[in-house]
Structures are given as C-alpha cells and as structure tokens.
Structure 1
Amino acid sequence: MLLVLGIVLILGALFAARWAIWQGFRVDRVIEVGSPGDYGEAFTEATIPAVGGKRLFGWLMSAGPGAPLIVVMHGWGANAESMLPLAVPIRRHGYSVLVIDARSHGRSDQDNFSSMPRFAEDIDSALDWAALLPDIDPHALAVLGHSVGGAAGLLAASGRENLRAVISLSAFDHPETVMRTYLSRAKVPYRPIGWMICRYVERIIGHTFDDIAPVATISRIRCPVLIGHGADDLMVAPAAASAIFARATSPMAELAILDGTGHDEAGCFERISLVLTDFLDRSFKAREAISGGMPAGP
C-alpha cells in the first residue's frame, strides 16, 4: 500500500512539474495600442512569413532607398510597441528600422509555445524578408534585441554571415542560470529535480542550454557586437553582460554598462539611444573601410 501511495505521489509531482513548465512557456499576450505614428513617424505595417506557416506582425520605418536596416526584437511578454523608444531615435538618425512581434506576442500569430530559440527564428524570418525588399541592401542589415530578444539576437547572428552589427541589451548569460534562479524561488532543489526539469526543457525547445547560451553564441559571431546592460538592472544582473563579453572572439566586440539604466523602462531606452547609434555608425563605417568604399551607413 505504501509503495502504491509513493508511486502515485511521484507521478503526481511529475505531472504537476510538467504542467508548470508548459505554463511557463505560455505568454500573456499584450496587443499594441499605439504605433510609430504617435511619434510622428511614417511607417507601413509588415506581414512576415515565419516558421511553421505562421506570420509575424511588424512596423517598417524606412529611412529611404539603400539605407541600412535594423531588425528590432522585444523581450518576453512585450511587443513591438515597447521597443519604439529605442527604434524611433535610430530611425531619425538615418537607419531604416523593422520592429517585429515574436510569435505569440503582440499581433503575430499564436504558436504552441514560446522560447528564446523561437525568438531567434523570428529574427531570422524578419532578416530574410527584409533582404528581399526592393529598397533594402541585403548586405546592410543589423539586429537589436532586448532581454530574451537580446539573447535571441546573439543566437540568430551566430548562424549568419550577412550581418553588419548586433546589439544585445539586458540579456541573460546562460539559460541554466535563469532556470536555477526560478527553481530556487519556487523552493525546488536543483539536484535532482531541478536538473531533470532543465533537461526536459531542453527536450521541448530542441536545443541544449550550453549551445544556445549567449556566453556560447557570442564566440561564433564575427561582426561588430555590442553587449549593453543597465547598471541598475534588477531583473538580470549586469554581471551577465560581463560574462557574455568575456567570451567574445570578434575584435569588434564592445561592452557598455549604462549608469542610471534599469531593465526595460522607456525613459532608460531614450537615454541610451545615443550609445546605440554611435555604435551602429562606427560598425557600418568599419565595414565600409574593409570593403573598399562600399556605401555602408547614414
């Protein structure tokens, strides 16, 4: 009888853990209520083909034919509108900007679950779509991502050769670290239960944490990359940015710990826009010099 009861309790605990994990992959969708027009910016709505026959929603703010284009990705549970305080100053500086919603976020199609690798897939879909636009130079593309979107930007960039720059803001350094933090808060011991949960999550997303971790993907990026982080970030410690930067192999990698900046406040976004546009200008001009005078930026 005690053996049967023990088996029932173990199975119940495993079922509860599985339910909790899948709940963690689901996102409370936040629909945009504003648009770039609220900032006085002209824009067109974009419908972008994505993985699995899904479609992504986005806003394209053009700076004119031939202008470099920056694909901008939000963080977990956010949407394209949340990135406008960063995207609009970049557009006004002379860059075209494509701000997108990840699947299951904003106005993009729903999928069965969300994950950082799926954010990266959506960034890839947006880059591929933008490269086919008649007024866009497919060799003048860059990525800017925030939080989970920042980690996803590094993952997407690690598998591409045609990017001119990558900016990752407020990203975590390793998924296992994030999981261990959540498990600790939930009073779940890492050994053996937490470790088993992490391996189950890897199976769901189809990737090992070690392979997709920003501390790993940055070593596979050859273009200029900026790792930015708020010194006052209470959600992801600034030490994560230092850990990522320490693994960079590109000679054009930079680290910026931004004073007076938190994780995702709109006011912070506006203050750091000069740091981002300066980095983009230098990155595109560096590529222009290497390519022997090819037009490369504003």
Structure 2
Amino acid sequence: MGLIAGLVVGGILTASVLSALVWRIGSQSQQPRIIANAAAPEVDTQWKAVSFRSGGSQMKGWLLEPSQGSATQEEGWLFETAQDSAAEEEGLLPLVVVAHGWGSNRTRVLRYTHPLYKAGFAVFMYDARNHGESDTIKAPSALMFRDDVIAAVDAARRLPGIDPDRVSVLGHSLGGFGALLALDQGMRVCSVITDSMPVRFETMMEAELKRKKIPSFPLAYLIPPIWLIRSGISQAQFRAANIPDVLARHAGLEGNARTPVLMIHSSEDDFIPAADLRQLKEQLSAGTIETLFVSTKGHSSSEQDPAFWDRVLPFLEETLLKEA
C-alpha cells in the first residue's frame, strides 16, 4: 500500500506540475508582442491623430487624408465628445479602415496606405488592444479583434469629413478574421478585404506556437481551452466564430443585403498557408466571396505583387465609390 500510495501521490504531483506548466505556456502564448509605433506616419499626405474607445479601453489611431500636401499633424480627435455633423456636409470622403494582425501595429500596415490615399480614399488605421499604444487587457483574443474592428468602424463614421455610408475594411491576418466575424455582429460596411487571413482557429494556434518556437503537439490541443477560459469565451461563442458559416450568412452581392468580400493570400506565405483559403473557396457557394492568390514571399508582403492593387482598387471603386 505504501508503494501504491507513493505512486498515486507522485502521479498527482506530476500532473499538477504539468498542468501548471501548460497553463503558463498557454498564458504566455496569448500575449502578443507589443511593438512601438513610429512617432509619426511616413506619408506624403496630411494626417491626424485619433483616439476612440473599445470595450472601455482607449484606442489610438491615425487618419490619412487623400491629399498631396506635406504631412502635418493637427490636433487629435477624441470621440467621447465628437459631434455627428459630418453627414450634413458636402464633399464627404469614402474611407478604408485598415486592421492589423496579431503582434503588429498601425505603423506596420502603413504599407497598404499609399495607393489608397492616392486613389482618393481616406484611410484610418489603429492599434488593436494589447498592441502599439492602445490599452491592454488580460487576455486578448480573436473576438477582441472583432470588437475592436467594430469600434474602429463606428469611430471612423463619426470623423468630420467622412461619409458614414461609404466605409470599407481591409484587414491583414487576424485583423481580417476579426472583420469577418464583425459581420455576424451586425457591422455594416460597403465591403471587406482580407489579406493573409487564417480561416481556421487551428491554423491560428499552430502559427502562433511556431512563432514562439513552442512544439505544436500536444500543446495545439491543450492550449485552446486555456485561451477560452482566460478570455471568458464560452463554447457557444467559440462555435459561432466559424468563418465558413459567417460568410455563408453575410458575404455576397450587395443586392441581397450582403457584404462583398475579397480574400487575398500569397501562395508563398510560410506562416499562414494559402491552402486554408483554397479549401474555404471550395466549401462556399459560387459568388459568396472573391479570391486572389498572389506570389510574394512571407506573411506580410501581398501588397508588393502588382496583381494585389490591380484587383483591390477596382474592387473598392465598385463597392465604395458608388452613389450613397
């Protein structure tokens, strides 16, 4: 009995130590690296600093105007006291909200902006919570990205000079994931463009473990429940965050009260494989989404392929520059 009792106690202690270790790894993997922003955006157009709120947290962003003057900073806007007077003004601008991915910030998605503001679009990018200069929360998640996109779109609609009826979203990686989930929460935008977006939660998890050089097996199966518990996400909420189902409900031609969606991925992305998007396209009914596969190396370089802008700008012109 002494030996058996000792083995039982030893087994319990070992299990406890392993559980604590897995929990610690799960907690660490749920904390994105925080990268400082540039002091000012390197752009050849006018810009403004913007503050707004999401989930009680303060968010920081930049608005780039579609003009060719020297970049000068004006006094930032705080949306707790902003007036909804823009809709009464003439010459209101169409706007593209740019959402960055996990472990990134608004400075890093400036790479998208030059062709957009040169084409006549205002551009609004922001730091999601736990990124850049925005406030932090205990356990960021894909649903946080969803809620932050919704808050950013709401804030953008109240910007002076912006047409609230002509707003679209361009989301990179998890920013795109959050933008699509936001459609299921009633976010109304003219269109959504995703770039290098993970389609499956499993892909997202495996990529983050790879980035942190943590073995995928068996942690890819043990860590997701930890993320959900720490984020306060229920199993029902997790099941509802299913991209194929969300797209089937909301994506498609505008005439059917649906949102046009263009999904782009590089065939040479070594972080989030393009196979996810190819499989998704086969799952969905024809016409639900538009897709484009480019050929650039890495996870954050799709816009370097000329085919990217050859498709993105006409798509935005068709969905965003229509008569309000």
Given the two structures, how large is their TM-score scaled by the length of structure 2?
0.79
* Equivalence map 1:99-114=2 (5 Å): 99-114=125-140
Which letter does structure 1 place at the counterpart of 2:240?
D
The answer to whether the 8 A contact 1:174-1:215 is kept is no
Structure 1 residues 104 and 125, CA gap change in structure 2 (3 angstroms): same
Match of 2:35 in 1: 30
Matched, 1:234 2:260: no
The answer to whether the 8 A contact 1:120-1:153 is kept is yes
1:180-239 deviations in whole A, cap 9, x for unaligned?
Answer: 56679744645xx75443233233331544422333322232211001001111111111
1:34 offset after TM fit, Å? 5.0
Matched, 1:40 2:44: yes
Match of 1:144 in 2: 170
Match of 1:120 in 2: 146
**Which is greater in Rg?**
2
1:137 offset after TM fit, Å? 2.1
The answer to whether the 8 A contact 2:197-2:272 is kept is yes
Judge which range, 125-134 or 164-173, deviates more. 125-134
1:150 offset after TM fit, Å? 1.4
Mapped partners of 1:109, 1:146: distance in 2: 20
The answer to whether the 8 A contact 2:169-2:179 is kept is yes
Identity rate, percent: 26
Structure 1 residues 169 and 33, CA gap change in structure 2 (3 angstroms): same
Mapped partners of 1:111, 1:95: distance in 2: 32
Mapped partners of 2:224, 2:302: distance in 1: 33
Which structure shows the higher helix fraction?
Answer: 1
Structure 1 residues 187 and 58, CA gap change in structure 2 (3 angstroms): closer
The answer to whether the 8 A contact 1:56-1:101 is kept is yes
Mapped partners of 1:188, 1:165: distance in 2: 35
Match of 2:14 in 1: 9
Judge which range, 269-278 or 89-98, deviates more. 269-278
The answer to whether the 8 A contact 2:27-2:226 is kept is no
Matched, 1:223 2:259: yes
Mapped partners of 1:130, 1:188: distance in 2: 39
Which letter does structure 1 place at the counterpart of 2:49?
E
The answer to whether the 8 A contact 1:173-1:243 is kept is no
1:110-149 deviations in whole A, cap 9, x for unaligned?
Answer: 2212211101111111111122234222221111110111
